[in-house]
Structure 1
């Protein structure tokens, strides 16, 4: 019996040590520098939150729409759904992001990966606007998005036609993304608030099929908190993602907050076995993000909420999902420059090592 008890104690100790060893470094694959009023807590707060939360890299974008404070509204709204006033497409959001990133010192700037978002996805001039922005700041922009297409009540509040991921204007954007080797992050709801079927699946699947040279990041895998308020869980989501990931190697999944529950973790906070199996099967295709909007003090809380799911994955896969997969989807030039910098730093370190 003492031997048996000692073995149990040793096993428990080893498990505890293994758990403690899971000290992740993160990439936040989905963060908005400004809110729906194009306001921000600023880069100092964001940097402090990153340091405190072990977040090494951030996808940083604006918000492509601005919420109107309408003449008939007595109180300034706090969010796009705060009242019935509309929202409108707002291109200056990218100027705000660019200014914030460019004022950083070089060693900090390498941690930020700006994505262009300030364009109307219904306008066939959008690709020309994006090209101008790319030429205005060569080398700054590393992706396109988050593009707002189907997006709950925001779709009906935004002035103009309903944007779709498979319309002609976005087709032109995808061709430009392929030309510049830029990933595209799309918010494209897979269904409406009440339909219990993948009503809008074709809107995301057509671009995946027609643009195999574009890397698509599907924000929240087509889900949203508003959908979940009306139907708690989309039972068809897992089978759909399983098929799409098999059929389209250019698809990547952003697991930011609306995916955490009710999909990745159950009500007890335990990782869902079927979702674990899917991530293990496609270990390079999933990434995590906070989806914070202009305020960053909860960054650590949002990112570390994924730890129970990460801890249930094999450690190499968990580290990919936590940090590396987002970096892997960036343009080749960005990846090569980062790898070159790491190699140079390693060579420098070896050169100054004392001789034995």
Structure 2
């Protein structure tokens, strides 16, 4: 196990050399307007390559930012359409009917391969019955693409009705429900076979409630991975500092920490049986994204 040190500014890990880093599929990346201020598309791609990322799923605010990473990196970068169609879109996307029209145009273009990330906060909103939300769910169903959903609630029951009522939509559940534990996550995955769960941003510097400060996993998480070995994935989610959303005076420097975030995941994956770890790190994302990778539009990075 590689040692970890956590401080007030984030996490620092003893990183292995490139030769030691097994191929990694990162299913949760962002390239936003406030990240481009400090990290060019080529710099972002170089950092992914330095960490042996062979598949990267990225959403951008606005969505055109994700296309810049694909242009710089190639077909192993899989852009999603973000419903946040302007730089403050996360605050009002569900009130703007143009979002659904833009999403259809994006999917029609053949340049985007999913929808999201879309945030839903219990007690804050938006409602799952919202017309824009329903319009995006309809498009995910029509175009047969995944919906990257971020939910925050004290219970899995917040999200469960949505995945139950839309069994034909493949959901990528960001951050395993943010702060939910293995019992809640397991209940949701049992109820909804169409949900694949990813563990980005569950490091102690952000959502936490996953691995201990020394990187150790609770046995209940290991049991959950063994229960659903084919439906877990993970990624870096390079957003930093936490809580800096829409601050005009602070750029998002998350891409400077991609290696640290990924090494956190490599550390806990090292505690699992090698076959299970490889599934979460690489094979499950390859299957989930086979609808792209098995066409001329996509491939794993081979260089």
| TM-score, normalization by structure 2 | 0.76
> In the alignment, is residue 121 of structure 1 matched against residue 63 of structure 2?
no
Measured against aligned partners, the alpha-carbon deviations of 1:315-334 in whole angstroms (never above 9, x if no partner) come to 111011112322322262x1
User: Does the residue aligned with 1:291 lie in a helix, a strand or coil?
Assistant: coil
Q: Give me the CA root mean square deviation.
A: 2.9
1:147 aligned onto 2:118: yes
Measured in 1, the distance between the counterparts of 2:157 and 2:273 equals: 33
Moved more, 295-304 or 177-186: 295-304
Q: CA deviation at 1:56?
A: 1.1
**1:22–1:53: structure 2 CA closer, same or farther, 3 Å change rule?**
closer
1:320 aligns with 2:279: yes
Equivalences for residues 291-306 of structure 1 within 5 A: 291-293=237-239, 295=253, 296-306=255-265
Aligned to 1:217: 172
Alignment coverage as a number of residue pairs: 260
Distance 1:341 1:259, change over 3 A: closer
Q: Write the distance in 2 (CA, Å) between the matches of 1:341 and 1:60.
A: 15
For 2:183 and 2:289, locate their aligned partners in 1 and report how far apart those are by CA, in whole Å: 27
User: Post-superposition shift, 1:34?
Assistant: 1.5
Aligned equivalent of 2:197: 253
- How far did 1:144 drift? 0.8
Pair member with larger Rg: 1
Deviation at 1:30, TM superposition (A): 0.9
**Correspondence for 2:293 among 315, 331, 335:** 335
Query: Which deviations, in whole Å up to 9, do the C-alpha atoms of 1:77-130 show, x marking residues without a partner?
Result: xxxxxxxxxxxxxxxx1123224423x3xxx41110101113413445532221
User: SS where residue 121 of structure 1 aligns?
Assistant: helix
Residue 186 (structure 1) aligned with residue 186 (structure 2):
no
Q: Is the 8 A contact 2:117 2:150 kept in 1?
A: yes
Q: Structure 2 regions of 5+ residues with no counterpart?
A: 1-18, 85-92, 240-251
Change (3 A) 1:240 1:27: same
| TM-score calculated relative to the size of structure 1 | 0.65
Cα pair distance change 1:257/1:151, threshold 3 Å: farther
Give the C-alpha shift of residue 250 in structure 1.
Answer: 0.6
| Structure 1: distance between partners of 2:173 and 2:114 | 13
Structure 1 Cα separation of the partners of residues 29 and 67 of structure 2: 14
**Which residue is equivalent to 2:229?**
283
Compute the displacement of 1:166 (Å).
4.7
Decide which structure has greater helix share.
1
Structure 2 counterpart of 1:45: 43
**Structure 1, unaligned runs of 5 or more:** 1-20, 64-92, 156-161, 192-197, 225-233, 346-356
Moved segments of 4+, more than 6 Å? 338-342
Match of 2:243 in 1: none
Are residues 243 and 318 of structure 1, via their aligned partners in 2, closer, same or farther at CA, if it must alter by over 3 Å? same
Alpha carbons 2:202, 2:210 under 8 Å: kept? no
